[in-house]
Structure 1
């Protein structure tokens, strides 16, 4: 596996999960938010209420950190809109992106041979799947093979002629879709057969992914928090899909959206309103009121 920084840095990231709190605290210094289905509405916008709430917690001294499955190039425009020149955890934790400098402070790629082997094992069980990849780097492309449909049509992608063309540059992850199986069914099979070849995640409708083994949102969040001098006990996290479970395990408090997947709701400390109903803002406003 190719790594831009010493692999020991991954292993050094905190692995001890914070103990659960019984109620939301008012002194969180790190606000970690997923994007799709969480901070973003269905049209890929952020509401004025959510923007105002994030601005208020920032003014109070807290740091807002985006923790997303989107690769760094697909996050850059949104970070600019949010007025952030700071850090973002991208690619399901495989990238730590410095938006101000437009560079990756840390990244891990998925080995091509491991990715192809994992795909072969999955297809041996469920038949043909359609694949896409996110290339590594701040200018990396999203490549999609014939038959793959982008779950987010607003995100740019380049269609290639055949699967072999997906491996023309280092990648951070593989995205999979099946013509008939549900995301839950495909993810379950993938987890069974892939083993240690890759980490399997499900990050949204039509989005089952393979990423470097051992890499999760918790890995990237822990590294970002260490960089900022913050701890799990100072962190509140918001999400909506199973790929947010490691992030909830790491943070002191996890808030699932009303529209969240049942697996995430089952481990959340709190369930707020949906992404369309300013669920993040509702919680942040309450925390700010309690701190006064």
Structure 2
């Protein structure tokens, strides 16, 4: 891909599996970013391009990556596109809420034993139980009963179904009707993320691109997950990490080495030095 200015002017980067390769549950995952990847991201920042971290993580679990990479201007997209935070202050500047009453009424019946983790935007989570997940290690954790949770609204609802497969969870959620809700399932683990319909990393990136005055032809995105598919399609040039699932590899314009081989640094070095 040849960019008009020699390099893209808006660069969207996934976090888990892209910026670092540690387990999501590692509360210090931001510290596992390699020297090569840190230097590569710094080169992008120094070029004047807009660097936008785009993640399924909640805001409190995203802020440490902004600090670690010294990204002190611009924005970061959290909760798979449901929350936008100011990189300078870490504060939430935009959010897409939905009510929990109806989805919880349906899912508590369909998924006995499921644990529901609801985002409290910018603060932490409200959960019906504890799970070993990154979002439980950053920000406030408030344990609540399922009936109380159902009276609230949220930007992202994580549904964990311990003791079951990701495929089983996917099959059930595919078959239920949740009006106004988007379900994103991960077949390799019993986890699903629910957001308001129309929410995605790509949708928030497009709104941000227009606001920043960046040409659509000057966008780059790098990711490795199912939740990155639309983002890779949105970008003028989408790069998939070498360890990504087949569907993600097929959606990309370019495939870089896996995260264990500093693939992100390799990908960015094609435009930034």
TM-score of the two chains, using structure 1 as the length reference = 0.80
Instruction: Tell me whether 1:149 sits opposite 2:96 in the alignment.
Output: no
Q: In the alignment, which of 182, 186, 189 is matched to residue 199 of structure 1?
A: 182
Compute the displacement of 1:286 (Å).
2.1
Within 5 Å, which residues of 2 pair with 1:141-180?
141-146=124-129, 148-152=130-134, 155-156=137-138, 158=141, 160-167=143-150, 170-180=153-163
Please name the residue that 1:111 is paired with. Answer: 99
User: Following the alignment from structure 2 to structure 1, what is the Cα–Cα distance between the partners of residues 268 and 71?
Assistant: 18
Please name the residue that 2:62 is paired with. Answer: 75
- What secondary structure sits across from 1:286 in the alignment? coil
Please name the residue that 2:49 is paired with. Answer: 62
TM-score of the two chains, using structure 2 as the length reference = 0.85
User: Following the alignment from structure 2 to structure 1, what is the Cα–Cα distance between the partners of residues 247 and 171?
Assistant: 13
Please name the residue that 1:238 is paired with. Answer: 222
User: Following the alignment from structure 1 to structure 2, what is the Cα–Cα distance between the partners of residues 169 and 81?
Assistant: 33
* Structure 2 unaligned residues grouped into runs of 5+: none
In the alignment, is the contact (CA less than 8 A) between 1:24 and 1:287 conserved in 2? no
Please name the residue that 1:187 is paired with. Answer: 170
- What secondary structure sits across from 2:85 in the alignment? strand
In the alignment, is the contact (CA less than 8 A) between 2:128 and 2:144 conserved in 1? yes
Q: Could you give the per-residue CA deviations for residues 242-266 of structure 1, whole angstroms, max 9, x where no partner exists?
A: 1111111211121111222232122
Q: In the alignment, which of 45, 53, 69 is matched to residue 40 of structure 2?
A: 53
Please name the residue that 1:223 is paired with. Answer: 207
Instruction: Tell me whether 1:135 sits opposite 2:158 in the alignment.
Output: no
Compute the displacement of 1:233 (Å).
1.9
Instruction: Tell me whether 1:210 sits opposite 2:186 in the alignment.
Output: no
Q: 1:202 to 1:275 in 2, by over 3 A?
A: farther
Q: In the alignment, which of 17, 40, 46 is matched to residue 37 of structure 1?
A: 17
Please name the residue that 2:271 is paired with. Answer: 287
Please name the residue that 1:27 is paired with. Answer: 7
Indicate the structure whose relative CO is greater, using CA pairs within 8 Å and at least 6 residues apart: 1
Give the aligned length. Answer: 261
Q: 1:40 to 1:169 in 2, by over 3 A?
A: farther
Q: What root-mean-square deviation, in Å, do the aligned CA atoms of Structure 1 and Structure 2 show?
A: 2.5
* Structure 1 unaligned residues grouped into runs of 5+: 1-22
In the alignment, is the contact (CA less than 8 A) between 1:115 and 1:197 conserved in 2? no
Runs (4+) off by over 4 Å: 23-26, 203-206
Q: 1:277 to 1:52 in 2, by over 3 A?
A: same
Q: Could you give the per-residue CA deviations for residues 108-145 of structure 1, whole angstroms, max 9, x where no partner exists?
A: 1121223324524xx43x54422211112x2x222332
In the alignment, is the contact (CA less than 8 A) between 1:118 and 1:198 conserved in 2? no
Q: Could you give the per-residue CA deviations for residues 9-47 of structure 1, whole angstroms, max 9, x where no partner exists?
A: xxxxxxxxxxxxxx4755311110111111122051211
User: Following the alignment from structure 2 to structure 1, what is the Cα–Cα distance between the partners of residues 160 and 2?
Assistant: 37
Q: 1:254 to 1:105 in 2, by over 3 A?
A: same
